[in-house]
Amino acid sequence: MNRLRDKVERVRELVVKEFRQIRRDPRLNRVIILTPILQLVLFGYAVSTDVFDTPVYVVDHDRTQASRALVDAFTASGYFRVVGQSERPADLVASLDHGSAVVGLEIPRGFARQIHAPTGSEVQLLLDGTNSNTASVAGAYAERIVRAYGVRVQQREAVDLVDLRERAWFNADLSSRDYNVPAVIGAILMLVALLLTSLAIVREREIGTLEQLRVSPLSPGELIAGKMIPFGIIGLLDMVLVTAVAVLWFRIPFVGNPGMLLLASILYLLATLGIGLLISTLASTQQEAFMVSFLVYMPAILLSGFMFPISSMPDSFQWLTLLNPMRHYLEVVRGVFLKGVGIGALWPQYLALLGMGVSVLWFAAARFRAREG
C-alpha cells in the first residue's frame, strides 16, 4: 500500500515539475493556448463545402425583360452573384480563364419569344470544373432555378405526380459548419498529443535532461506517466476550450452528454499520446520527430471522415480507417454534439478507442523502457 502511495507521490512531483517548466516558457504557453483557437477559427470558417455567392458571368444576347428576370432569379436565390455582363462570348471565356467567374450563363437572342413558343428556349450554362464540388452543386442549383423560372413563365400549376417530402435529421438547415467544427477537436487533440509529446521528449534526450531523470529513483513507468499526464491535461484543457468556443461562438448545438465527450476524449488521448511516445522512441532528432508526427497526422486527418466522407472512399481505405483512432473519436464527437445519442449506439467506438489506447500505450512504453531503461 505504502509503495503505491510512494509511486503516486513521485509521479505527482514530476507532473508538478513539468508544469512549472512549461509555465516558465511564456512563448510555449502562448503557443499551447493560441494555436488551438487559431486552428478552430481557421477550420471552423474555412472548411465549408457549402456553395453560395458563386461568381457568375452573364452574356445576355436577348436583353429583354424576360432575360433580365432570369438573371434576377439567379441572384435572388443567394447562390449566385453576377460579377460581369457583356454581349460578347469572348469576355465570358476570358473571365472563366482568369478565374474571376466560376459560372457562365449565356442567354440566346429571341429568348423572350421562344419561351412562350411550344418548343421552349435553351440557355447555356458553362461551369469551371476546376473545383469539382462547387461546379456540381452550382450546376444543380442552376438547374433548379431555371426549372422554377420555366414553371412561372408557363403559369401552370405544378402538376407533380409525386410529391417528394424531404427532411434532414440532426442538422435541419444542412449547414456544413455544424458538422465540421466539432470535428476540429479531434484534429487539435491529435496535433497537441503527437507533436508536443514527441518533440518534447526528443528534445530532453538531445539536451540530456532525460538522462538526469533516469538516475533519479523514478521507475521507467513512473517517468512515462509523469511525462504523459501534463500533456494529457493540456489536451483536455484544449478540448474544453475548443468546445466552449464551438458552442458559444460558432453556436454549434450540443445536445448530448458532456460526460460522454470527456470519457471519449480521455480514451482518445491515451491512444494519441501513446503514438506520440512511440514516435519519440523512433526518432533521434527533433526534425525526425516532427516529420514522423506529420506523416501520421496527415493521413489520420484525411482518413478520419473529418473533411472527406468515409463512405466515398474505396473499400480498402474504408478498412484502413478502422485503425485510425480519430475516426472513432469523431463518430463519438459528432454523435454527442449533433445527434445526442448515448452509449447504446456508441459503445463500439468507445471499445475501439479503449483497445487502441491500451495497446499503443503498452507497446510504446515497452519500447521506451527498452531504449531508456
Site residues for other proteins, 74-113, by CB under 8 A, read 96-99, 102
**CB-based contacts of 272: which residues, under 8 Å, 6+ apart?**
189, 190, 193, 194, 235, 325
Q: Are 92 and 57 in contact (CB under 8 A)?
A: yes
Which residues inside 22-81 make contact with other proteins, applying CB under 8 A? 27-28, 31, 35, 38-39, 42-43, 45-55, 70
Question: Given candidates 266, 313, 358, 366, which one binds other proteins under the rule CB under 8 A?
Answer: 313
Question: Given candidates 291, 322, 323, 343, which one binds other proteins under the rule CB under 8 A?
Answer: 291
Q: Which residue has the cell 466515398?
A: 312
Q: Are 125 and 139 in contact (CB under 8 A)?
A: yes
**CB-based contacts of 113: which residues, under 8 Å, 6+ apart?**
none
Shortest distance, position 363 Cβ to other proteins, whole Å:
20
E strand or H helix that includes residue 81:
strand 80-86
Query: Which of 90, 168 has the CB closer to other proteins?
Result: 168
Question: Given candidates 72, 87, 206, 211, which one binds other proteins under the rule CB under 8 A?
Answer: 206
Please state, in angstroms and rounded to a whole number, the distance separating the CA atoms of residues 320 and 186. Answer: 18
Q: How many CB atoms are closer than 10 A to CB 21?
A: 13
Taking CB under 8 A as the rule, does residue 373 contact other proteins? no
Shortest distance, position 230 Cβ to other proteins, whole Å:
14
Cα 270 to the center of its chain, rounded Å:
21
**How buried is 35 (Cβ within 10 angstroms: 0-12 exposed, 13-18 middle, 19+ buried)?**
middle
**CB-based contacts of 51: which residues, under 8 Å, 6+ apart?**
79, 133, 134, 137, 138, 141
Question: Given candidates 59, 181, 191, 352, which one binds other proteins under the rule CB under 8 A?
Answer: 191
Shortest distance, position 42 Cβ to other proteins, whole Å:
5
Question: Given candidates 87, 249, 294, 322, which one binds other proteins under the rule CB under 8 A?
Answer: 294
Q: Are 5 and 222 in contact (CB under 8 A)?
A: no
**CB-based contacts of 203: which residues, under 8 Å, 6+ apart?**
286
- Candidates 6-14, 267-275, 302-310, 361-369; binding stretch for other proteins (CB under 8 A): 302-310
Taking CB under 8 A as the rule, does residue 361 contact other proteins? no
Which residues inside 158-177 make contact with other proteins, applying CB under 8 A? 160-172, 174-176
- Candidates 11-19, 194-202, 244-252, 354-362; binding stretch for other proteins (CB under 8 A): 194-202
Q: Are 103 and 125 in contact (CB under 8 A)?
A: yes
Please state, in angstroms and rounded to a whole number, the distance separating the CA atoms of residues 90 and 87. Answer: 9
Q: How many CB atoms are closer than 10 A to CB 170?
A: 16
Size of the site for other proteins (CB under 8 A): 112
Query: Which of 140, 351 has the CB closer to other proteins?
Result: 140
- Candidates 2-10, 121-129, 237-245, 261-269; binding stretch for other proteins (CB under 8 A): 121-129
Question: Given candidates 185, 331, 354, 361, which one binds other proteins under the rule CB under 8 A?
Answer: 331
Query: Which of 47, 237 has the CB closer to other proteins?
Result: 47
Which residues inside 241-280 make contact with other proteins, applying CB under 8 A? none
Query: Which of 84, 150 has the CB closer to other proteins?
Result: 150
Query: Which of 220, 299 has the CB closer to other proteins?
Result: 299
